[in-house]
Chain A
Amino acid sequence: MNRGKTIGRLLGIVRRDPLAAAAFLFLLLLAIAALFPEQIAAMSPNRPSRLRLLPPGDVYLFGTDQFGRDIFARCVHATSVSLLVGLTTVAIALLLGVPLGAIAAFRSPGKIDSGIMRTMDVLMAFPPIVLAIAVVAALGTQDIEIGPFTVPHITKVMVVIGLLNVPKVARIVRASVLVERNEQYVMAARAVGASEARVLFREVLPNCASPVAVYATLLVATSILTEASLSFLGLGIQPPQPSWGGMLADSRTYVMSGQWWLTVFPGLLIFLSVAAFNLAGDLLRDALDPAQITRRGDA
């Protein structure tokens, strides 16, 4: 499975699936917004003004919020924060969860398996939002200085949300590996004398990619929303820095009083990104899973 072939297959799928193409285009736009917010939104995202609660119009594309701030500028500037939260937490969850789950499955049944999985059970049994509240409360919402380094609060939030998701990923990986390791191709690899690690990482894991990819793309969504929930409780990204979830949380009381633009635009952005990540995830899964294509024959 070389890189060129993967990309080629990806392009082929994009041609056949316009929805996925739109998703990729949207993600590209988000990436641009995240990298060059100032070039896209001219107004200051954080400066209050007397022009409060203006509906969307020519000057303020998305209207202004209860502090007279340009919602468009805030949405654009929030992109990098929200994407960072979504992607970093998933990365942390995968980085720890995949090997733990895989090793547990490969050593199952046994002490290593039960050791890992019981630890995961303990962690998973803690209600996630409560664990997040507890950890954020314990560490505080300020930036932490460790020697010459400053750990911004947002990093703490990402690590906390990421760690919360490790057990879920581990469990999914373990379940898939348990099924896969009894498949014929694994037996075959073992029979020709491949090492355990090789079998696990080269043969088994790639075939478990599809549930993991699906779950990971869902995690992007739940991470963005967990940050929103933390913001609802005042523990998320601290003002004035905008995040989509934080914007929703800050303007939740306007849902019932008719100023729909305060919540709809950040909400729509969350929805579109979540949808785009998921569609892209499906695509990735098809591209990553050659067996799938040969098995189904219709891709």
Chain B
Amino acid sequence: MIGFLAGRAASLALVLFGASILIFLVVRALPGDPAVALMTQNATPEMIAEMRRTLGLERGLPTQFALWLGGALGGDLGRSFMFSMDVSALIGERFPVTLHLALTSLAIALAIAIPTGVLAAANKGKALDHLCRVVAMVGISMPVFWQGLLMILLFAVTLGWLPPGGYVSPASGLGDSFAHILLPSVALGTAYAATVMRMLRASMLDVLGREHIAVARAHGIPERTLVWRDALHNAAIPTLTAVGFSFGYLLAGAVLTEVIFNLPGMGRLLYESILARDYPLVQGLVLLNVAVFVAINFAMDALYVALDPRIRR
């Protein structure tokens, strides 16, 4: 098992390196010039050339890449063109917001998905199953910006229960912080709940149909135990895949949720940095996303191994 995980860890470095090349090329494939982005359409060709020199863009691509990668290895992700500040400092400000949002959203998604998924599977074909499935679909079939605006209208403007947006860190008051993060988390969480719920229901049905469950049932083990302990445990593996990468996406930041609820997270920053062709910032943010994602994958693989010894072989 340790060997498996060590091998897996080694390949992560490779993924990060591959991703860094890809990021570097993707941002430069965007039409438009960061120098022009900073100066607007009034810039003369001479001013653009000068600005490109200031930003270090006149060097060849391999040199630029080597410089960036060298810096990144030492923890220096460069300086944002748009904000004139260190990329790592900006990320330091934004990542906690995104992490907070992702964790709360995940909690809400699981709180909806696990009970509805299990109940739906246990009552397959009955009214409760249909109800659970339809309810779970409401979240995924509403664009987050629509759902978000409706919730702001209802809970913030009409009822006045919750603030319409903005972010308050848990450090400056748990209740206030929770009130600010709740609506965006519901908007995001309900969308992910559907994915998780359906994967769980499908896996549960698979497991419930298998022989060992039938044998257990024949031995008189109560249905409730079968469903909630044995089946749920076995169905967890494929569902974890869905949960894992959902979480990865949540951590990448949710551009539209952050815009609608005015959360200063990484998604919004990434979108702005793409618009401004802020190469160091785009590269830094995406690299962090990749790293987080890779880490989640690794954690999931480790969990697989723990949950399903057959994988070790």
Binding site for B on A (CB under 8 A): 16-17, 19, 109, 114, 118-119, 121-122, 124-131, 133-134, 137-138, 140, 168, 171-172, 175-176, 178-179, 182, 210-211, 214-215, 218, 221-222, 225, 228-229, 232-233, 245, 248-249, 252, 255-256, 263, 267, 270-271, 273-275, 278-279, 282, 285, 291-292, 295-296, 298
Q: Which residues of A lie under 8 Å from residue B271 when comparing CB positions?
A: 130, 133, 233
B15 near A121 with CB under 8 A, answer yes
- Given A129-B255, A176-B238, A285-B202: A168 and B143 interface contact (C-beta under 8 Å): no
**Cβ-defined contact, B145 with A279, below 8 A:** no
Task: Answer whether residue B177 sits at the interface, using C-beta atoms and an 8 A cutoff.
Answer: no
Contact among A17, A256, A263 with B157 in the assembled complex (CB-CB below 8 Å): A256
Please name 18 further chain A to chain B contacts, defined as beta carbons within 8 Å, in addition to the given A221-B141, A298-B125, sorted by A numbering.
Answer: A109-B7, A114-B11, A118-B15, A122-B19, A122-B22, A124-B245, A125-B294, A126-B22, A127-B249, A134-B27, A179-B238, A179-B308, A210-B205, A214-B198, A214-B202, A270-B143, A274-B141, A278-B198
Inter-chain CA distance A240–B144, complex, in Å, is: 23
B182-207 contact mask (Cβ, 8 Å, vs A): 1 or 0: 00000000000011001101110110
Q: Which residues of A contact B242 (CB under 8 A)?
A: 172, 215
Which residues of B are in contact with A by a Cβ distance under 8 Å? 4, 7, 11, 14-15, 18-19, 22-23, 26-27, 29-31, 125, 130, 133-134, 137-138, 140-146, 149-150, 152-153, 157, 194-195, 198-199, 201-203, 205-206, 208-211, 214, 237-238, 241-242, 245, 248-249, 252-253, 255-256, 267, 270-271, 274, 286, 289-290, 292-294, 297, 308, 310-311, 313
Q: Are B15 and A271 in contact (CB under 8 A)?
A: no
In the bound complex, residues from chain A placing their C-beta under 8 Å from that of B292 are 125
Which residues from chain B contact A114 at a C-beta distance below 8 Å? 11
Q: How far is the CB of A104 from chain B (nearest CB, A)?
A: 13
Q: B146, B150, B205, B209: which has the most chain A beta carbons within 10 Å?
A: B146
Q: Cβ of B15 and Cβ of A122 under 8 Å apart?
A: yes
Q: Which residue on B lies nearest to A123, using beta carbons?
A: B22
By Cβ-Cβ distance, the 3 closest A-B pairs, closest first, are A295-B209, A127-B252, A125-B293
- Please give, as numbers and ranges, the residues of chain A lying within 8 Å of B142 by CB-CB distance: 267, 270-271
A221 lies within 8 A of B18 (CB): no
Q: What are 30 inter-chain pairs, A to B, with CB distance below 8 A? A: A118-B15, A119-B18, A121-B15, A126-B22, A127-B286, A129-B256, A129-B267, A130-B271, A134-B29, A137-B31, A171-B245, A175-B238, A210-B202, A210-B206, A215-B242, A218-B140, A221-B137, A221-B141, A232-B143, A232-B145, A252-B149, A256-B153, A267-B142, A267-B146, A270-B143, A274-B137, A275-B134, A285-B202, A292-B205, A295-B211
Main secondary structure of the interface of B (DSSP, over half): helix
In the complex, the chain B residue whose C-beta lies closest to that of A167 is: B245
Taking a contact as CB atoms under 8 Å apart, the answer to whether A252 and B145 are in contact is: yes
Q: Which residue of B lies closest to A13 (CB)?
A: B125
Q: Which residues of A contact B297 (CB under 8 A)?
A: 121
* Contact B256 A232, beta carbon cutoff 8 Å: yes
CB neighbours of A140 from chain B (8 A): 31
**What's the minimum C-beta distance from B37 to chain A, rounded to whole angstroms?**
12
For residue A279, which residues in chain B have a CB less than 8 angstroms away from its CB? 133
Task: Please give the distance in Å from A30's CB to the nearest CB on chain B.
Answer: 14
Bound-complex Cα distance A136 to B149 (A): 26
Which of B23, B133, B142 has most A Cβ within 10 Å? Answer: B142
- Count of CB-CB pairs between chains A and B under 8 Å: 182
- In the assembled complex, how far is the CB of residue B38 from the closest CB belonging to chain A, in whole angstroms? 18
Residues of B within 8 A of A211 (CB): 199, 202-203, 206, 238
- Of A109, A129, A291, chain B has the most CB atoms within 10 Å of the CB of A129
Find out whether the CB atom of A125 lies under 8 angstroms from the CB atom of B248.
Answer: yes
- Residues of chain B within 8 A of A255, CB atoms compared: 146, 149-150, 153
* Residue pair A282, B157 in contact (C-beta under 8 Å): no
CB proximity of A2 to chain B, nearest CB, Å: 22
Q: Please, which residues of chain A bring their CB within 8 A of the CB of B195?
A: 218
Assuming A127-B252, A256-B157, A275-B134, is B290 touching A245 (CB within 8 A)? Answer: no
A118-B11, A118-B15 known; A292+B238 contact, CB < 8 A: no
Known: A138-B29, A175-B241, A255-B149. Is A125-B19 also a contact (CB below 8 A)?
yes
Residues of A within 8 A of B137 (CB): 221, 271, 274-275, 278
CA A221 to CA B193, docked complex, whole Å: 14
Contact for B143 among A119, A228, A275, CB less than 8 A = A228
The answer for the CA separation of A78 and B54 in the assembled complex, in Å, is 48
- A228: chain B residues within 8 A (beta carbon): 143, 145
Q: Is the CB of B133 within 8 A of A282?
A: yes
Q: Which residues of B contact A128 (CB under 8 A)?
A: 249
Contact B26–A134 (Cβ < 8 Å): yes
A228 to B146, CA, bound (A): 10
Provide the residues of chain A in CB contact with B253, threshold 8 Å: 127
Q: When A124-B248, A130-B274, A295-B211 are in contact, do A278 and B133 touch as well, CB less than 8 Å? A: yes
Residue from the list B11, B138, B140, B241 in contact with A171, Cβ < 8 A: B241
The CA-CA distance from A295 to B27 in the complex, in Å, is: 51
Check A130/B270 contact, CB under 8 A, given A121-B297, A124-B245, A171-B241: yes
A20 to B88 Cα, complex, angstroms: 52
Contact with B209, one of A182, A248, A263, A296 (Cβ below 8 angstroms):
A296
Residues of chain A contacted by B22 (CB below 8 angstroms)? 122, 126
What A residues does B134 contact at CB under 8 A? 275
CA distance A40 to B245 in the complex (A): 42
- Check B143–A249 contact: CB distance below 8 A: yes
